[in-house]
């Protein structure tokens, strides 16, 4: 019989439920079980595609084109596998499924009520993921915080499952313990007690509490939570801050978490093999020599708050590749607007071993990014462009090498006479009708790689599949002129002859991709383009 582990949060949001769920999946997988992981977001949005990353964090894209929460990226990185749209749901998508079924007479003319239909739909989706992934255990993260109205229907789904299969369901509460006192080491348990009572109010009781805090939880406070919250002895797990999220599964196993969760579900570990994971964590901690990578963006001006969650996959991909190359990654946020306002300031790029221009949308900071790309091209600084970073590299090359001075993109200059970057034909109608959600070029597409290029050296393969999220492409009307002047089209999509990767000759490393390679990087399997970029950056240093 399949098993279910639900992860809910107490006290406050952003407490680390996604990393907790990912880590639970990691250690259960190491124990010999096939695990699937799901995220439930309590938003009426059907998916994450229309959410602002500066508010909600990165929009992660799956192979099938699903735009989802950044925690899906954590699941893929920690479990070293790919997931699909069935592993992600929102309030909006669940209600939409129920309404569509009702419109198709799927309920046989019966009255459709919020309870039980919405919780039952949630359970059906979880079971579908279990079946599709042929999994033994589903780890399901419930977004939001207990006590909120938004996620009460998802908690009701847990209650219904627990009633039907009490031995097959475990509920883990991730709760924050604030620190008071002069030394900041007096951890307070009262907020966690209130969070447990909020769960009790909806008919649930946690089987395990993960105590999130700045420092490890002492035995006295563990015992207090166990006593005050009726938690079995040993089932309060300390979850202190660590230097790397990849240490969390190892930390959990110090308290024998997998053994306790499996015991709660009536299971035993088939094996325990975390050797490769431990070696990766050890490599990350033993790397001492730095590699300095600058990321040029538009929200990094002096005084701006850099929401690193907006670029979490890029950050993690840099880490994976740096550790693979036995280096300690140092990441610097560089303001594109400062290069617009003060062109001479672009010289600061010489301080860094490599430069990345990540994905993005809109006109703000564009000219500053183009100046940074030009500087990297001329000064032989390793450069990696991601999606928008490819498009701006093509514009820079067209302007300064091909002498097409007014080259631009229709995205931020709709009236340009030289649209070296143009909107895809099928996107024009969608934009005119203001159909934005789920309508970009999304998900995995084939890329055929040209032999003899740096990209081929990286991939060691002529055909790969990579994930996309964009509406604009390199305009093939200008391709001959670009290639004639030395731009190498190293990768194309064979179905539509679209440019996927560009490179430059006689440069330590200058490459950019129309796709987002960061989405497929894993700590145990760094992405080839990031790996080679970091390698070139180390040589530059």
Residues noted as catalytic? 387, 516, 518
Least Cα distance to 169 among 267, 88, 94 occurs for: 267
Residue 435 has φ and ψ, to the nearest 5°, of: -100, 100
CA 36 to centroid of chain Cα atoms: 17
Is residue 298 within 8 Å of residue 337, measured between CB atoms? yes
> Is residue 295 helix, strand or coil?
strand
CB 458, CB 498: distance < 8 Å:
no
Beta bridge partners of 330: 292
Are the C-beta atoms of 202 and 6 separated by less than 8 Å?
A: no
For residue 263, give every residue at least 6 positions away whose Cβ sits within 8 Å of its Cβ, in sequence order, or none: none
- State CA 63 to chain mean position distance: 13
For 447, the token pair is: 């890329």
CA 221 to chain centre: 34
Q: What is the 3-state secondary structure (H, E, C) of 312-332?
A: HHHHHHHHHHHHHCCCEEEEE
Q: Is 16 left (phi over 0), alpha (psi -120 to 50) or beta?
A: left
Angle at 391 between CA 509 and CA 426, to 5 degrees: 140
Helix H or strand E segment including 524: none
Strand bridging mode 208-213 / 328-335: unpaired
d(CA 298, CA 310): 12
Q: Give the end-to-end CA distance of the chain in Å, rounded to a whole number.
A: 55
Q: 295: which strand partners?
A: 333, 356
378, 508 contact by CB (below 8 A)? no
- Residue 516 · residue 467 · CB < 8 Å: yes
Q: Taking a C-beta distance cutoff of 8 angstroms, is the pair 21, 29 a contact?
A: no
Sign of CA dihedral 340, 377, 387, 435: positive
Tokens (6 digits) for 401: 């090498």
Question: How do the residues of the chain divide into helix, strand and coil, expressed in percent and rounded to 5?
Answer: 45, 25, 35
CA dist 74 and 312 (Å) reads 9
Q: CB-based contacts of 188: which residues, under 8 Å, 6+ apart? A: 177, 178, 179, 180
Q: Which residues pair with 9 in a beta bridge?
A: 174
Asked if 485 and 501 count as a contact pair (C-beta separation under 8 A), the reply is no
Contact 202, 14 (CB under 8 A): no
């Amino acid at each position: 019989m399949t098993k279910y582990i639900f992860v809910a949060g107490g006290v406050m949001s952003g407490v680390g439920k996604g990393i907790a769920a990912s880590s639970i999946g990691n250690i259960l997988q190491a124990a010999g079980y096939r695990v699937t992981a799901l995220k439930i977001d309590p938003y009426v949005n059907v998916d994450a595609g229309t959410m602002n990353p500066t508010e909600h964090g990165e929009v992660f894209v799956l192979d099938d084109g699903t735009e989802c929460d950044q925690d899906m990226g954590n699941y893929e990185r920690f479990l070293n596998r790919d997931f699909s749209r069935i592993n992600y749901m929102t309030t909006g998508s669940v209600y939409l499924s129920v309404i569509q079924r009702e419109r198709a007479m799927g309920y046989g003319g019966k009255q459709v009520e919020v309870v039980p239909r919405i919780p039952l739909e949630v359970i059906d989706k979880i079971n579908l993921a279990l079946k599709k992934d042929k999994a033994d255990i589903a780890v399901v993260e419930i977004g939001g915080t207990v006590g909120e109205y938004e996620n009460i229907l998802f908690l009701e789904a847990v209650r219904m499952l627990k009633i039907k299969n009490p031995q097959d369901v475990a509920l883990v509460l991730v709760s924050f313990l604030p620190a008071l006192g002069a030394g900041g080491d007096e951890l307070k348990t009262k907020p966690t007690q209130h969070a447990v009572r909020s769960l009790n109010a909806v008919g649930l009781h946690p089987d395990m509490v993960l105590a999130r805090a700045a420092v490890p939880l002492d035995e006295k406070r563990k015992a207090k939570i166990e006593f005050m919250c009726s938690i079995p002895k040993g089932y309060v797990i300390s979850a202190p801050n660590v230097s790397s999220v990849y240490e969390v599964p190892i930390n959990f196993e110090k308290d024998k978490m997998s053994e306790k969760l499996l015991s709660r579900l009536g299971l035993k570990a088939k094996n325990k093999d975390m050797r490769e994971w431990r070696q990766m964590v050890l490599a990350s901690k033993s790397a001492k020599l730095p590699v300095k990578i600058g990321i040029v963006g538009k929200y990094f001006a002096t005084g701006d708050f850099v929401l690193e969650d907006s670029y979490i996959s890029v950050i993690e991909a840099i880490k994976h590749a740096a550790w693979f190359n036995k280096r300690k990654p140092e990441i610097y946020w560089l303001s594109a607007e400062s290069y617009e306002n003060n062109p001479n300031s672009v010289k600061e790029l010489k301080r860094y071993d490599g430069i990345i221009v990540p994905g993005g949308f809109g006109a703000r900071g564009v000219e500053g990014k183009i100046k940074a790309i030009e500087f990297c091209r001329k000064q032989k600084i390793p450069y990696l462009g991601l999606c928008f970073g490819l498009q701006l590299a093509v514009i820079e090359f067209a302007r300064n090498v091909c002498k097409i001075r007014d080259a631009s993109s229709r995205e931020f200059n709709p009236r340009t006479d030289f649209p070296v970057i143009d909107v895809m034909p099928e996107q024009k109608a969608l934009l005119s009708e203001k159909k934005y959600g789920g309508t970009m070029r999304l998900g995995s597409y084939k890329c055929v790689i040209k032999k003899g290029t740096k990209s081929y050296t990286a991939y060691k393969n002529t055909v790969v599949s990579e994930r996309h999220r964009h509406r604009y492409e390199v305009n093939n009307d200008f391709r001959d002129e670009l290639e004639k002047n030395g731009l190498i089209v190293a990768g194309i999509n064979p179905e539509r002859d679209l440019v996927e990767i560009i490179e430059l000759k006689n440069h330590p490393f200058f490459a950019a991709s129309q796709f987002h390679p960061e989405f497929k990087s894993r700590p145990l399997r760094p992405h080839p383009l990031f790996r080679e970029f970091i390698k070139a950056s180390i040589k530059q240093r």
